[in-house]
Chains A and B, each alone.
Chain A
Amino acid sequence: MTQIVRRTGQFVVILALFAVVSSFAAWPVYRQTPPGSAVVVLTFVHSAGRKAACRRLTPQEIAKLPPNMRRTEVCSRERRPVYVELDVGGRTIYRASLAPTGIAGDGPSRVYYRFVVPAGGHSIAVRMRDSARADGFDYERQGRISLVPDQLFVIDFRSESGEFVFR
């Protein structure tokens, strides 16, 4: 009898511990953003042009190259950074010069920036510069969006068509 009580006690203790563990497997609920807000993500992958222009080789330089590796011009691998700005409601909330990726700096620039805004209407403007110009922008889009609570709104850039995409 004592043995049964003892085993029951042991089982109850183990059961209670496991029940507590199972409770924390999905509780308490975590809320990442305040209620009534939406999430906006600015993200794209885009390669700017080469940092330095290609240079034509002189005939002497070409002649020095092995016959199977002769070419007419040499180009720098390194790319220029991509400069981007994002305005929400007339206020610039993100501004960055995105360095090219890769050890040699020859990869595309990339951005993934997530931020939270209240649900509702917002005016958005996004601008990007990938050329050698010192000011002004090569690509730009602005518009008014309406966000519902918990919406995931994405601002992307399509390099092929050279336009920003809102979705």
Chain B
Amino acid sequence: MVIAGVRSALRRGFELIERPFERLFGPAINPLAQLGALGFFFFWIVTVSGIYLFIFFDTGIERAFDSVETITNEYWFHAGVMRSLHRYASDLMVVMVATHLLREFAYDRYRGARWFSWFTGMPIIMLLYASGITGYWLVWDKLAHYVALMSSELLDWLPIFGEPIARNFIATGTLTSRFFTLMVFLHVAVPLFLLFMMWVHILRMSRPKVNPPRLLAGLSLAALVAVSFWNPALSQGHVDLARAPVEIGLDWFYLPVFPLIDLWGKGAVWGFLGAFFVMLGMMPWLPPLRRARPAVVDLAHCNGCKRCAEDCPFEAIRMVRRTDDRPFPAEPLVNNALCVSCGICVGSCPASTPFRRTEDLKTGIDLPDFSLRDLREQTIAAAQQLPAGPRVLVLACAHGGAAGRQAGTVVLPCVAMAPPSLIDFVLSRDLADGVVVAGCAESSCYHRLGADWMKQRFAGTRDPYLRARVPRERIAMVWTSALEGKRAAAEIEAFAARIKSLPPRQPRLPRSSGTSAPRREQPLSDVESRA
């Protein structure tokens, strides 16, 4: 399909940029993985610099331009810099929003339960542009005249205004200072709505990234200040209503639509904008994402420990009052509309331990289409296929570079679906000599938090921990995108070579024979009491 083709091409394009960025910045502060957070960051810079500029700005019709000139020339070392910060941070917000949108589209992170964030991104785009355009009016220079004429001509095309608004900007004496008061009001009110929509945009996300890492924020602010000194934002001469503003330095981030009016006409531009937003709004259903059935809670094996709710990246699980007679205060409730069937909740559940001998392996929360039992059986089956030599079992993310591997690989919706005890299970039962957790790209985890949770579980900073007895030298984590199959294979090969050089180990338990159920190491009651 066309959309899938565009998505694939775009993804390859992002991969080309993203991997070098990840090497330079590292996954923690890779700017491409912080686009939303940087958008928020630039919004706050625009807000603070805007408040500062308002101290100096005069809303009088005759003095608006002069006050901006004073800011730019006389107080260039503080207010002038603030003006540049205000403008360039606004432009960067547009860049962040556009890149964020394209990246989420490229990585197919806008369909299914994610439709809400995609859909609420549309009013953000509209309000962002409305904020920027109203800001350009306030300077009341030639560019402001052009923006006023073109935006009002565009609005006048709609048959809702009695008198053409553009008439106000073609003759002296028609504008009063009240106009600037109105524009200041709009330039404050619209960004407030924008902030509100930014909040709505992240409502359905657990732990949304609204602040970039401090180092990235510091580097960005320093670069923005440097650019403000190097290329200060300037006005383009006082408005002369008797002259047409025909030659202007356009802000191509905020005002690219205006030249289109000259090329296509106003009706076509409205048509284009309407079609663009209708298409954008329909994207999550073109076609709808086919996903596995949502997670299901099994209260008989749940002690209401909240870990699944805390680890869910999409706020799909919330704790509610217990509905059975077991002596626990709460139970998880899965919102099927929000669940993306990533299985992270399964990996976080303390009852998810494959050591248990019970034939019908059950856990507190499970995926109906790929249960913990299926995972254990597939792991055992994959281990049996491992060739002699260093036997390396790969737990691969379905969205990562190792997903295409055949032998010795178990593909999961997210690597964080694998409880740490599964690694312990594999190594202690001598099912393999080493285990590779092969996730998707570290800075662009398909399920947002899977890579973080897995690393924290292994490091012993997040429940459920990987036990201390598990030999760390026999575990590797590989983070590669779906297009980096070769790199994933190379890293797995390198790990296998390292395993080969390790001294032989004494398995704690005899190797499991086939798919027979392993010895029960920890009764369920013990698991519950730990939780």
Chain A interface residues (CB < 8 Å from chain B): 6-7, 9-11, 13-15, 17-19, 21-33, 37-39, 41, 43, 45, 101-102, 107-108, 110-112, 114, 150-152, 154, 156, 167
Chain B residues whose CB sits within 8 angstroms of the CB of A11 once the complex forms: 219, 222-223
Q: How far is it, in angstroms, between the C-alpha of A38 and the C-alpha of B170 when the chains are bound?
A: 13
Task: Let me know if A43 and B251 touch, CB within 8 A.
Answer: no
Q: Is B167 an interface residue (CB 8 A)?
A: yes
Chain B residues whose CB sits within 8 angstroms of the CB of A9 once the complex forms: 24
User: Contact flags (1/0) for B229-247 with A, using CB distance below 8 Å?
Assistant: 0110110100001111111
Measured CB to CB, the nearest residue on chain A to B261 is: A32
Chain B residues whose CB sits within 8 angstroms of the CB of A45 once the complex forms: 162-164, 167
Of the candidates A17, A25, A28, the one having the most CB atoms from chain B within 10 angstroms of its own CB is A25
Q: Is B88 an interface residue (CB 8 A)?
A: yes
Q: How far is the CB of A142 from chain B (nearest CB, A)?
A: 21
**Given the known A-B contacts A13-B24, A14-B31, A24-B253, are A19 and B230 also in contact in the complex, defined by CB atoms under 8 Å?**
yes
Q: How far is the CB of B190 from chain A (nearest CB, A)?
A: 20
**Given the known A-B contacts A26-B234, A150-B243, A151-B242, are A114 and B153 also in contact in the complex, defined by CB atoms under 8 Å?**
yes
Task: Let me know if A43 and B170 touch, CB within 8 A.
Answer: yes
Task: Let me know if A154 and B219 touch, CB within 8 A.
Answer: no
Chain B residues whose CB sits within 8 angstroms of the CB of A19 once the complex forms: 227, 230-231
Q: Is B58 an interface residue (CB 8 A)?
A: no
Find A39's partner among B162, B234, B244 (CB 8 Å cutoff). Answer: B244
Task: Let me know if B244 and A24 touch, CB within 8 A.
Answer: no
| Extra 13 A-B pairs, beta carbons < 8 Å, given A18-B224, A22-B227, A26-B233 | A15-B226, A22-B91, A25-B253, A28-B250, A29-B250, A30-B248, A39-B244, A43-B170, A107-B162, A108-B162, A150-B247, A152-B242, A152-B243
Chain B residues whose CB sits within 8 angstroms of the CB of A23 once the complex forms: 231
Q: How far is it, in angstroms, between the C-alpha of A48 and the C-alpha of B152 when the chains are bound?
A: 25
Measured CB to CB, the nearest residue on chain A to B95 is: A21
Chain B residues whose CB sits within 8 angstroms of the CB of A112 once the complex forms: 153, 156, 164, 166-167
Find B246's partner among A24, A39, A154 (CB 8 Å cutoff). Answer: A39
Q: How far is it, in angstroms, between the C-alpha of A31 and the C-alpha of B252 when the chains are bound?
A: 13
**Given the known A-B contacts A39-B246, A101-B159, are A32 and B253 also in contact in the complex, defined by CB atoms under 8 Å?**
no
Find B244's partner among A13, A21, A27, A152 (CB 8 Å cutoff). Answer: A152
Q: How far is the CB of B142 from chain A (nearest CB, A)?
A: 10
Q: How far is it, in angstroms, between the C-alpha of A151 and the C-alpha of B25 when the chains are bound?
A: 52
Task: Let me know if B162 and A22 touch, CB within 8 A.
Answer: no
Q: Is B92 an interface residue (CB 8 A)?
A: yes
Q: How far is the CB of A68 from chain B (nearest CB, A)?
A: 30
Find B223's partner among A6, A14, A110 (CB 8 Å cutoff). Answer: A14
Q: How far is it, in angstroms, between the C-alpha of A113 and the C-alpha of B440 when the chains are bound?
A: 56
Number of B residues near A (Cβ < 8 Å) is 49
**Given the known A-B contacts A25-B253, A110-B162, A110-B164, are A18 and B88 also in contact in the complex, defined by CB atoms under 8 Å?**
yes
Can you give 22 contacting A-B residue pairs, CB < 8 Å? A10-B25, A10-B219, A11-B222, A14-B223, A21-B88, A23-B231, A24-B91, A25-B233, A25-B251, A26-B233, A26-B249, A26-B250, A30-B249, A30-B250, A41-B170, A101-B159, A110-B163, A112-B166, A150-B244, A151-B242, A151-B243, A152-B170
Task: Let me know if B262 and A32 touch, CB within 8 A.
Answer: yes
Q: Is B151 an interface residue (CB 8 A)?
A: no
Chain B residues whose CB sits within 8 angstroms of the CB of A41 once the complex forms: 170
Q: How far is the CB of B287 from chain A (nearest CB, A)?
A: 35
Chain B residues whose CB sits within 8 angstroms of the CB of A102 once the complex forms: 162
Chain A residues whose CB sits within 8 angstroms of the CB of B253 once the complex forms: 21, 24-25
**CB under 8 Å from chain A, chain B span 196-226:** 219-220, 222-224, 226
**CB under 8 Å from chain A, chain B span 142-183:** 146, 153, 156, 159, 162-164, 166-167, 170-171
Chain B interface residues (CB < 8 Å from chain A): 21, 24-25, 29, 31, 84, 87-88, 91-92, 95, 146, 153, 156, 159, 162-164, 166-167, 170-171, 219-220, 222-224, 226-227, 230-231, 233-234, 236, 241-253, 259, 262
Chain B residues whose CB sits within 8 angstroms of the CB of A17 once the complex forms: 223
Chain A residues whose CB sits within 8 angstroms of the CB of B24 once the complex forms: 6, 9-10, 13
The secondary-structure label for the interface of chain A is mixed
Q: How far is the CB of B247 from chain A (nearest CB, A)?
A: 5
Task: Let me know if A29 and B166 touch, CB within 8 A.
Answer: no
Q: How far is the CB of A114 from chain B (nearest CB, A)?
A: 7
Find A29's partner among B95, B230, B247 (CB 8 Å cutoff). Answer: B247
Find A30's partner among B87, B233, B247 (CB 8 Å cutoff). Answer: B247
Chain A residues whose CB sits within 8 angstroms of the CB of B87 once the complex forms: 25
Of the candidates A9, A14, A28, A102, the one having the most CB atoms from chain B within 10 angstroms of its own CB is A14
**Given the known A-B contacts A18-B88, A26-B251, are A33 and B244 also in contact in the complex, defined by CB atoms under 8 Å?**
yes
**Given the known A-B contacts A15-B227, A112-B167, are A32 and B247 also in contact in the complex, defined by CB atoms under 8 Å?**
yes
Q: How far is it, in angstroms, between the C-alpha of A31 and the C-alpha of B247 when the chains are bound?
A: 4
Ranked nearest first, the 4 interchain pairs of A and B with the lowest CB-CB distance are A26-B249, A39-B244, A112-B164, A152-B244
Q: How far is it, in angstroms, between the C-alpha of A142 and the C-alpha of B344 when the chains are bound?
A: 79
Find B170's partner among A13, A24, A33, A154 (CB 8 Å cutoff). Answer: A154
Measured CB to CB, the nearest residue on chain B to A37 is: B246
Measured CB to CB, the nearest residue on chain A to B233 is: A25
Chain A residues whose CB sits within 8 angstroms of the CB of B249 once the complex forms: 26-27, 29-30
Chain B residues whose CB sits within 8 angstroms of the CB of A28 once the complex forms: 250, 252
Q: How far is it, in angstroms, between the C-alpha of A102 and the C-alpha of B249 when the chains are bound?
A: 38
Of the candidates A22, A31, A107, the one having the most CB atoms from chain B within 10 angstroms of its own CB is A22
Q: How far is the CB of A35 from chain B (nearest CB, A)?
A: 8
Measured CB to CB, the nearest residue on chain B to A103 is: B159
Task: Let me know if B243 and A25 touch, CB within 8 A.
Answer: no
Chain A residues whose CB sits within 8 angstroms of the CB of B25 once the complex forms: 10
Q: How far is it, in angstroms, between the C-alpha of A39 and the C-alpha of B170 when the chains are bound?
A: 11
Chain A residues whose CB sits within 8 angstroms of the CB of B162 once the complex forms: 45, 101-102, 107-108, 110
Q: How far is the CB of A24 from chain B (nearest CB, A)?
A: 5
